[in-house]
Amino acid sequence: MMRSIDRWAIDERGVPSLDLMERAGAAVAREVEGLSPGGPVTVLCGKGNNGGDGLVIARMLRDAGRDVTVLLAGAPDEISHDARANLERLPGPAPSSLADAVIEPAGVIVDALLGTGFDGEPRGAVGDAIDAVNASGLPVVSVDAPSGVDASTGTARGRAVRATLTVSFHAAKPGLWIAPGKRLAGQVVVADIGIPRGAPGACRTGLIDAAVLDELPRRGSASTKFSSGQVLLAGGSAGMTGAPVLAGRAAMRAGAGYVILNVPASAVQAVTATGAAELMVRGQPDDGAGLSADAAAEVLRGCQRAGALALGPGLGRSEGAVSFARTVAHSAPIPLVLDADGLNAHAGGLAELSGRSSETVLTPHAGELGRLLGLDSSEIERERLSHAREASRQARASVVLKGDDTIIAEPGGFAAISRGGSPALATAGTGDVLTGVIAALLAQGAGAFTAACAGVWLHARAGQIAAERAGSAEGVIASDVIEALPAARAAAGRGQAS
């Protein structure tokens, strides 16, 4: 994507390519000086224009009086045209070959090896250099993206630089938002290098910000508890009655006017004992472990008046619960949020959801998505974006792949990424909270993708607010996140987006 933007700026807007490279190098050189004001610098340059940026950086740092060692991958006649032009401008000692050199102790290392066009596994001298950089323990500044990271997806298929700071040009690349690329990039700084406005190309990945809340319906003076959105929730089982209560309370705090919990008849007393007075509770047929297949007809009848259904929190994995979940998910005529054991009931049968008559949001973590796709969770984590998109395509649903860098994919291939930054959410029950929030937004009339994106944003911001109130992320519980939801929406209205 960045290559096409560069080419447009050069060919259509007449911006000299060497000028873009000069500005890119200057931006990185400033960050290097800020990170390490003194001491020697080692600059590792690849054969392409990323290496050309590195040669500009080396020249500017030498001009500033720094001791700079340049290591070049390949012979001078093997590098790109613009990189060769900047090699000719480089004062001082000529670069050494990357294959023959040893990385000496330095104040900082500049990684200009591979850049945004890379897709694959670093090998040979470049791969060995990446290993040496990571073993050095020195601060590292990566140019546009850490070498070895796919800048479009965040995938690292082999060796990859662990950067202290990454300077990204024109706009942050999606691979810097998504693990493992997110973890490898360190701090990300976006530098303006003079790309004119109006660059073409439909970006298929974007960041979620508070503006998504502008698309949500709001209560008015004529609103009632029914017109504000009615959520039907089905879940709960022996020992797991808290999950549907958390989801129901979250739906109320997210704006739903009416929430009905459908739980096993044997669990009604435990549910009502939680003190969730605002929630309606209906006992449904159970098999002693959880909701039975016989409960499906009752829940489907309840869908006639509801605006959205949340299915799965605390459901359990008994044979009856699995049958119940599959019947209800396939037949419910209203928007559906499928979570937890509602997802597990569809392990290996994800495509069966594609025939639903209304919109669907799936909210798996990596393990659940792995079960849906028949993959190990570690494989999901290696390529989070591509697997989220594949699941969305198969199910014809919006898929929320949970994590600090939560990914929301829609069937057309577009994906939105949450910046995360909410370690307070790493506690039991917060997934149920997210389910309730998204269900409330669906019930209020938001489309599936909008509800998912807005729900993820509110959830993350509520986690941050809860941590501020508690004094630390470690002290937060799921109920704290629920109580922070109104403040999260109010904070967005005051422009306090995260």
Q: Which stretch of 164-173, 393-402, 451-460 has the lowest confidence by average pLDDT?
A: 164-173
Delimiting residues of CATH 3.40.1190.20 domain(s) in the chain: 210-493
3-class secondary-structure state, position 117: coil
Planar angle of CA 111, 112, 118, nearest 5 degrees: 110
Would you give the distance in Å from CA 474 to the centre of its chain?
Answer: 22
Q: Which residues pair with 79 in a beta bridge?
A: none
Average pLDDT (390-413) is: 96
**What mean pLDDT value characterizes the chain?**
90
Please tell me the distance from the alpha carbon of residue 136 to that of residue 343, in angstroms, as a whole number. Answer: 44
Are the C-beta atoms of residues 226 and 248 closer than 8 Å to each other?
no
Average pLDDT over residues 341-364: 96
How many CB atoms lie under 10 A from the CB of residue 143? 35
pLDDT at res. 383: 92
10 Å CB burial of residue 480 (0-12, 13-18, 19+) is buried
Statement: residue 202 has pLDDT above 70: no
Closest CA to 111 of 129, 94, 97, 93: 129
Q: Are 413 and 430 in contact (CB under 8 A)?
A: no
Q: Output the CATH code of domain 210-493.
A: 3.40.1190.20
236: region left, alpha or beta (phi > 0 left; psi from -120 to 50 alpha): left
User: Is the predicted pLDDT of residue 49 greater than 50, yes or no?
Assistant: yes
* 410-427 burial code (b ≥16 CB/10 A, e <16): bbeebbbbbbbebebbeb
Q: Give the residue carrying structure tokens 């990596």.
A: 366
Judge whether residue 371 has pLDDT over 70.
yes
The residue-averaged pLDDT of 8-19 equals 64
CATH code for the domain defined by 2-203: 3.40.50.10260
Span 145-162, pLDDT tens digits = 999 999 889 999 889 999
Q: What are the residue ranges of CATH 3.40.50.10260 in the chain?
A: 2-203
Q: What is the pLDDT of residue 115?
A: 79
Residue whose tokens read 């502008």: 214
Distance (Å, whole) CA 470 – CA 413: 39
Beta bridge partners of 252: none
pLDDT class for 497, splitting at 50, 70, 90?
very low
pLDDT for 108-151, tens place per residue?
999 999 977 777 899 999 999 999 999 999 999 999 999 999 98
**Residue 139, Cα to own-chain centre: how many angstroms?**
26
* Mean pLDDT, residues 219-243 taken together: 83
Residue 16 buriedness (CB in 10 A; 0-12 / 13-18 / 19+)? exposed
Q: Is the pLDDT of residue 498 over 60?
A: no
Percent of the chain whose predicted confidence (pLDDT) is above 90 = 75
* Residue 269 buriedness (CB in 10 A; 0-12 / 13-18 / 19+): exposed
How far is the C-alpha of 390 from the C-alpha of 393, rounded, in Å? 5
pLDDT reading at 10 higher than 80: no
CB 107 within 8 A of CB 36: yes
Strands 398-401 and 407-409: antiparallel
475 contacts: CB under 8 Å, gap ≥ 6:
467
pLDDT at 496: 45
